């Protein structure tokens, strides 16, 4: 049954008190497991069947890794499994350094992860999850990556509510440094959101790292700055993308503006369970900075939100300008922020339970009451037919604040296959 050494079973022993030893080498954990079973004749067969099932289970895991992986790493635990991939926690046998390993198993999965792999090979920044090494076989790709154990920013906001200005600025400095680095390389992330910002470790001094480059775009030349592919997560997409106009890396700064609003308010600037109404709100760029939570935020903090959430992308902050903004450069105190009633806002709770982008997982917010215990289903993506439904209104009334730009046949519009544009 796949054991390195065969099992030795004493047959036809009546009323025995003999130890039957099964000697197993578990290829999944690369450890030798010895099971000593004190059996009688009646129990012998049942125990044998039970153990054989465990052996088969371990052999099932064994097929996920080739010899090169097992020679260098101890596989410790399965972290998660998606449509095209699985992720496990591993440890380097020599250094004992833990890592995450992503295994892409199908041909369809390989195509979907080609963009991410190509970008991760290029980047080396403390605020971006690092690719350590890659192993490729005929039917699989193994990506050994930096392991983040502190959870994501989504969890942090959901569990504790709005951040103080000092805490928010500390987060944004790391995010903006990562975005500036990407933009300098000609890379636009296109799916920035709290779910894709991971804490390296659980401590309060942990760095924050950008992850998930499956929807990212890498320009091919200095003149290749326009994109047309519709992609991202609805609550974070920029107005120019909703308007189906060619767009630039300014869409990432719009997402930073949404993230800033979430950090300071504990809620979304634009939210509606109906996607069409949500996109209309984004196009108008109307949001509130006047409730009781915003009273406690400095004028510089509110100004940063306004500058990042400019509907006109030509007026929006760049990553460099954002890092030079007075609010980001200022020294902030750490007063106790007044906690808003309602636990991070009704729309945050509903968005968390109905539309968020992480795999099923339970989380709890001490500020949200009964609705705060949520399970987060798979990602919601921007769907083209929703935007097509807006075309009539846009043609009749125009798009407020966005300079009209014809939809050009730009090379970048064909760079990604349709399945990876909005529903990977």
Which of the pair, 409 or 215, is modelled with greater confidence? 215
At residue 225, the pLDDT reads 87
Cα dihedral sign for 64, 70, 72, 76?
A: positive
Q: What is the DSSP string of 162-188?
A: SPPHHHHHHHHHHHHHHHHHHHHTTEE
Give the number of other Cβ atoms within 10 Å of residue 373's Cβ.
Answer: 14
At residue 291, the pLDDT reads 85
Which of the pair, 395 or 146, is modelled with greater confidence? 146
Q: What average pLDDT does range 149-172 have in this prediction? A: 95
3.40.50.300, 1.10.510.10, 2.30.40.10, 1.10.15.40: which CATH number matches 153-422? 1.10.510.10
State the pLDDT confidence band at 270, using cuts at 50, 70 and 90: very high
CA-nearest of 45, 81, 47, 41 to 61 is: 81
3-class DSSP state of 43: helix
Q: Which of 5-14, 89-98, 112-121, 241-250 has the lowest mean pLDDT?
A: 5-14
3-class DSSP state of 142: strand
3-class DSSP state of 314: coil
State the pLDDT confidence band at 238, using cuts at 50, 70 and 90: very high
Strands 18-26 and 362-363: unpaired
Indicate the helix (H) or strand (E) that contains 133: strand 131-136
At residue 192, the pLDDT reads 98
Q: Which of 137-141, 187-191, 193-197, 297-301 has the lowest mean pLDDT?
A: 137-141
At residue 344, the pLDDT reads 52
Please calculate the CA angle 174-177-181 and round it to the nearest 5 degrees. 140
State the pLDDT confidence band at 380, using cuts at 50, 70 and 90: low
The answer to whether 244 touches 402, Cβ cutoff 8 Å, is no
Which of the pair, 200 or 375, is modelled with greater confidence? 200
Q: What average pLDDT does range 3-13 have in this prediction? A: 44
CA-nearest of 347, 286, 345 to 311 is: 286
**pTM of the entire predicted model:** 0.72
Q: Which of 272-286, 307-321, 388-402 has the lowest mean pLDDT?
A: 388-402
Which of the pair, 405 or 211, is modelled with greater confidence? 211
Alpha-carbon distance of 347 to 273, in angstroms, equals 9
At residue 417, the pLDDT reads 29
CA-nearest of 177, 199, 215 to 418 is: 215
The answer to whether 68 touches 345, Cβ cutoff 8 Å, is no
State the pLDDT confidence band at 332, using cuts at 50, 70 and 90: confident
The answer to whether 168 touches 305, Cβ cutoff 8 Å, is no
Per-residue 3-state assignment (H helix, E strand, C coil) for 344-358: CCHHHHHHHHHCCCC
Q: How many CA atoms lie within 13 A of 253 on its CB side?
A: 27
State the pLDDT confidence band at 137, using cuts at 50, 70 and 90: confident
At residue 399, the pLDDT reads 55
The pLDDT mean for the chain works out to: 76
The answer to whether 34 touches 40, Cβ cutoff 8 Å, is no
Strands 18-26 and 98-104: unpaired
State the pLDDT confidence band at 400, using cuts at 50, 70 and 90: low
Give the number of other Cβ atoms within 10 Å of residue 126's Cβ.
Answer: 13
30 burial (CB, 10 Å; 0-12 / 13-18 / 19+) is middle
CA-nearest of 128, 286, 73 to 64 is: 73
pLDDT tops 50 at residue 27:
no
State the pLDDT confidence band at 17, using cuts at 50, 70 and 90: very low
> Both ends of the chain: CA-CA distance in Å?
38
Share of the chain above pLDDT 90, in %: 52
Tell me, what DSSP letter sits at residue 239? H
Q: Which of 131-135, 213-217, 318-322, 389-393 has the lowest mean pLDDT?
A: 389-393
Bind-site residues for ATP? 102
- What's the helix, strand, coil split of the chain in %, to 5? 40, 15, 45
Alpha-carbon distance of 408 to 224, in angstroms, equals 13
State the pLDDT confidence band at 224, using cuts at 50, 70 and 90: confident
Give the distance, in angstroms, between the CA of residue 331 and the centroid of all CA atoms in the same chain.
Answer: 30
Bind-site residues? 102
Q: Which of 41-50, 153-162, 199-208, 288-297 has the lowest mean pLDDT?
A: 41-50
Question: Which neighbouring-strand residues pair with 316?
Answer: none
Q: At what angle do helices 299-308 and 250-265 cross, to 10 degrees?
A: 140
Strands 85-92 and 362-363: unpaired
Q: CATH second-level architecture of 67-146? A: 2-Layer Sandwich (3.30)
3-class DSSP state of 92: strand
Q: Which of 53-67, 115-129, 139-153 has the lowest mean pLDDT?
A: 53-67
Spatial CB neighbours of 128, under 8 Å, sequence gap ≥ 6? 178, 181, 182, 209, 210, 211
At residue 66, the pLDDT reads 80
Where are the strands (E) in 206-292, listed by range?
208-210, 217-218
The answer to whether 132 touches 113, Cβ cutoff 8 Å, is no
CA-nearest of 184, 104, 189 to 145 is: 104
């Amino acid at each position: 049954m796949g054991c390195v050494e065969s099992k030795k079973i004493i047959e036809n022993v009546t009323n025995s008190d003999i130890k039957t030893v099964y000697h197993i080498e578990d290829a999944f954990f690369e450890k030798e497991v010895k099971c000593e079973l004190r059996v009688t004749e009646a129990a012998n067969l049942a125990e044998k069947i039970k153990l054989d099932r465990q052996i088969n289970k371990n052999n099932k895991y064994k097929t996920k890794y080739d010899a090169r992986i097992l020679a260098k790493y101890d596989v410790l635990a399965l972290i998660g499994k998606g449509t095209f991939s699985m992720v496990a926690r591993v440890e380097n046998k020599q250094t004992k350094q833990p890592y995450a390993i992503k295994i892409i198993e199908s041909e369809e999965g390989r195509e979907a992860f080609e963009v991410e792999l190509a970008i991760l090979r290029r980047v080396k920044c403390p605020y971006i999850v690092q690719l350590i090494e890659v192993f490729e076989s005929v039917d699989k790709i193994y990506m050994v990556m930096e392991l983040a154990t502190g959870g994501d920013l989504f969890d942090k906001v959901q569990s504790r509510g709005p951040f103080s200005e000092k805490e928010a600025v500390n987060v944004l400095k790391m995010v903006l440094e990562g975005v500036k680095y990407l933009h300098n390389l000609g890379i636009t992330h296109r799916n920035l959101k709290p779910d894709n910002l991971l804490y390296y470790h659980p401590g309060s001094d942990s760095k924050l790292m950008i992850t998930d480059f499956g929807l990212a775009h890498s320009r091919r030349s200095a003149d290749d700055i326009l994109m047309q592919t519709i992609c991202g997560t609805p609550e974070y997409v920029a107005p120019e993308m909703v308007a189906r106009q060619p767009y630039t890396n300014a869409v990432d700064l719009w997402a930073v503006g949404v993230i800033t609003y979430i950090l300071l308010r504990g809620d979304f600037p634009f939210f509606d369970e109906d996607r069409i109404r949500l996109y209309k709100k984004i196009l108008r760029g109307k949001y509130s900075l006047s409730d009781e939570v915003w009273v406690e935020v400095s004028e510089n903090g509110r100004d940063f939100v306004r500058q990042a959430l400019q509907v006109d992308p030509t007026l929006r902050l760049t990553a460099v300008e954002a890092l030079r903004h007075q609010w980001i450069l200022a020294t902030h105190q750490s007063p106790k922020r007044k906690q808003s009633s309602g636990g991070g806002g009704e729309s945050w709770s509903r968005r968390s339970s109905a539309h968020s982008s992480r795999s099923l997982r339970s989380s709890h917010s001490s500020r949200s009451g009964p609705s705060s215990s949520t399970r987060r289903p798979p990602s919601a993506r921007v769907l083209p037919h929703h935007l097509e439904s807006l075309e009539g209104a846009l043609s009749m009334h125009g798009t407020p604040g966005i300079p009209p730009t014809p939809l050009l046949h730009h090379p970048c519009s064909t760079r990604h296959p349709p399945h990876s544009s909005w529903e990977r």
